[in-house]
Amino acid sequence: MINTILIVDDSPVARRMLKTCIPKDKGYEIFEAGNGQEGFEKYKELHPDIVFMDLTMPVMDGYQATAKIKEFDKEAIVIVTTADIQPKSIASVMELGAFTLLKKPAKTESIQEAISKVEIKLKKLQEKS
């Protein structure tokens, strides 16, 4: 079950837009970070169920932050949200262990579909244990 979501993006507008795409009726607790370093620190503190990660940010970019999060917790679910949808970028984040990549600006349907896929994955993992 998904309880906590972390949104990591240097743009307050992008974070706000993404928050509006997340269903309000599910009771998710949503946290935010303004760069990759802050996102990694918040991940260690909160252990969120999902991280929405931008790629282009100051201090630490999304590639580095995703790598650090996955190194810290190999089961972490990172959904990359980026305007950079070049095949090389997509391949790089998937190699780092991203769950999926969504093109920015993300649409409500794609955000909710990604969350549903995470719920299915978590349910399957629960059934195995």
**In one letter, which amino acid is 37?**
Q
pLDDT in tens, 58-90: 999 999 999 999 999 999 999 999 887 788 888
125 near 98, Cβ under 8 Å? no
Task: Give the chain's length.
Answer: 129
**Mind listing the domains of the chain with CATH numbers?**
4-128 (3.40.50.2300)
Closest of 97, 14, 87 to residue 57, by C-alpha: 14
For residues 91 and 28, what is the distance between their CA atoms, to the nearest angstrom? 30
Q: How many CA atoms lie within 13 A of 65 on its CB side?
A: 33
31 near 42, Cβ under 8 Å? yes
Instruction: Give residue 84's Cα distance to chain centre.
Output: 15
Per DSSP, 127 falls in state: H
Examine the pLDDT at 129 and tell me if it is beyond 70: no
Query: According to the model, what pLDDT value does residue 87 have?
Result: 82
53 near 30, Cβ under 8 Å? no
pLDDT in tens, 8-20: 999 999 999 999 9
